[in-house]
A and B are shown apart, each in its own frame.
Chain A
Amino acid sequence: MYAQMVKSTGEGVKTLDEMAPEERAFQEKVDQDIRIEPRDWMPEGYRKTLIRQIGQHAHSEIVGQLPEGNWITRAPTLERKMILLAKVQDEAGHGLYLYSAAETLGVSRDEMTEMLLSGKMKYSSIFNYPTLTWADIGAVGWLVDGAAIMNQVPLQRTSYGPYSRAMVRICKEESFHQRQGYDIMMKMAQGSEAQKRMAQDALNRFWYPSLMMFGPSDANSVHSEQSLAWKIKINTNDELRQKFVDQTVPQAEYLGLSVPDDTLAWNEDKGGYDYSEPDWDEFFDVLKGAGPANHDRLDARKQAWDDGAWVRDGLLAHSEKKHGAKVAAE
């Protein structure tokens, strides 16, 4: 998912009896699935946690343009090129919806951008992996958008109104992305030896990073407990990861590709697959900046922001002039 390791207050979840009247009224609304809107009273911790979570999600959409944008100029057919361009354009649109949702909580898009560029806010670890062959574009759609959907579908029911509405719009598009990615994988898996090799290699490289998208087990985390109580998190990381594995393994089989996990086996009792955990040391290294593409990603975003300063200033100056002229004429 696009928001990993989001910290909440760090304190335990209060019972209704321990809450002041305002907070109690708030929590009761959440419990009854009544949406919280920007003007409603909310605990400071709820607001801050949401900003972190929505902001991280927004940044992920934006940084996520880069690994896929990497193949637009090299896409193999006009149709594939257009599909990919439209997809990356969708992701930018998702970023826009999410920044708007976060802005209702009292933080501006520019402030969030500055925090991304200074490293104070994060984006999903998955986008710190490179796209090396065309099959990677298939794998990203299939696995990365697939994992994002796992997380985002339940979030359509999240307690914060603007976030929930953004998720509804986003989910519609994400399912297209996943199908398009799978379609690329299908063509590759049924293609020449070289294409099959690319497809298998893409799965090998993206499998564990995709599992990492859900974050480490949070069964006993105080942050998660609080987020679950506030309904800004709907499932635990392990639940979602399990669902993802169960959905994806048969899809890989259908493609004739093998999931790079020797321990993978159907477990009749739990009605799901047993699978190997990703290397969590690698995950924490990537979060800290040591992934193969961290430096390139942030560098690209910084350069876009810095090089674009004169454009933003110019357009702002122009609209102020126009506005000034209008006011003077009145």
Chain B
Amino acid sequence: MADALFETLLRLGDNTLILGHRVSEWCGHAPVLEEDIALANTALDLLGQTSLWLEYAGEIEGAGRSADDLAFLRDAWDFHNVLLVELPNGDFGQTVMRQYLFDQFNLMNLRALTGSTDNRIAEIAEKAVKEAAYHVDRSRGTVVGLGDGTAESHERMQAALNILWPYALELFITDDTDADMAKAGVIPDPKTLEADYRATIEATLAEATLTLPDAHFGHRGSGKDGRMHTEHLGHILTQMQWLQRAYPGQAW
């Protein structure tokens, strides 16, 4: 049970850590100043959630690892984020689409987690859900604006969706760890969130004049159980972990 809980917390924390890293890459390079500010804000919230999840993960593991140890001293095979969040930013449209697909899931998942039988998880979710609601408002609005903007912006958003949608489906795979945790009331069973998620996404896409690609497969690479990642994760880690690896054991 402790193992499953540890793994669950890593999944939550790694998703926000890796996505936060990706979003922070935009800093100073966004299409308009307001977006620079909004993206930095999103990245900040995601990293704040990361600290909470990983700190708790370290406590559950009981091996004395801090949130920083977990973030900066694990290698790719020990990361449990979904593949969606480690994909490169692409153009701004791809970044926003990825953000929306994640935010919508994160919001639904966190809402359910506020009722977790694990009090600490419920507490963290309570705080994070407010941020997630704001993120979804923003990313949803931008997806709609750009989907239903010019011909070029429409085309770019559709292209982004075509690439990303199959990755989004990984969010709803329930594996044994999820099933155990769901049975104990710690987390919602991911696959039970899918129908509602799809319906919400489809409503947004309709407003954005975009269409869900006809892809019935998900990338079942299983980033979340660590069996598979994209090649991108290793490069993220070489950057993110560089100082801690080059100068081990220092205070910063």
Contacts and interface: CB of A to CB of B under 8 A. Distances in A.
B247 A303 contact: no
A310 B251 contact: no
Nearest to B96: A311
Interface in B38-83: 40-41, 43-44, 47-48, 50-51, 54, 67-68, 71-72
A69 B146 CA distance: 26
B27 A304 contact: no
Interface stretch (A2-10, A82-90, A114-122, A169-177): A82-90
A310 B40 contact: no
A110 B35 CA distance: 15
A220 interface: no
A66 B28 contact: yes
Contact of B145 (A82, A96, A309, A315): A315
A92 B40 contact: yes
Contacts, number: 144
B152 interface: yes
A309 B149 CA distance: 12
A73 B240 contact: yes
A177 B240 CA distance: 22
A317 B153 contact: yes
Given A77-B72, A317-B153, A319-B145, A62 B33 contact: yes
B145 A318 contact: yes
Contacts of B68: 77-78
Contact of A304 (B29, B40, B72, B145): B29
Nearest to A198: B247
A309 B142 CA distance: 15
A318 B146 contact: yes
Contact of B250 (A92, A184, A191, A309): A191
Nearest to A134: B243
A195 B91 contact: no
Q: Say whether chain B's binding surface is mostly helix, strand, loop, or mixed.
A: helix
B140 interface: no
Given A78-B67, A92-B36, A311-B93, A317 B27 contact: no
Interface string B16-36: 000001001101111111111
A312 B34 CA distance: 11
Given A92-B33, A312-B32, A313-B153, A65 B72 contact: no
Given A73-B21, A74-B243, A192-B247, A81 B31 contact: no
A66 B27 CA distance: 8
A308 B93 CA distance: 10
Contact of B244 (A76, A86, A88): A76
Contacts of B47: 78, 81-82, 85
B144 interface: yes
Contacts of B31: 304-305, 307-309, 311-312
A328 interface: no
Contacts of B242: 74
Contacts of B240: 73-74
A170 B48 CA distance: 24
A72 B32 CA distance: 19
A88 B27 CA distance: 8
A303 B252 CA distance: 33
- What 5 A-B pairs come out closest when comparing CB atoms? A308-B31, A314-B153, A314-B149, A65-B28, A89-B40
Given A65-B28, A73-B24, A85-B43, 5 more contacts: A73-B25, A134-B243, A184-B252, A307-B92, A311-B32
Interface of A: 62, 65-66, 69, 72-82, 85-86, 88-89, 92-93, 95-96, 99, 109, 134, 184, 187-188, 191-192, 194-195, 300, 303-305, 307-319, 321
9 contacts: A74-B240, A77-B68, A82-B48, A92-B37, A195-B250, A307-B31, A314-B149, A314-B152, A318-B146
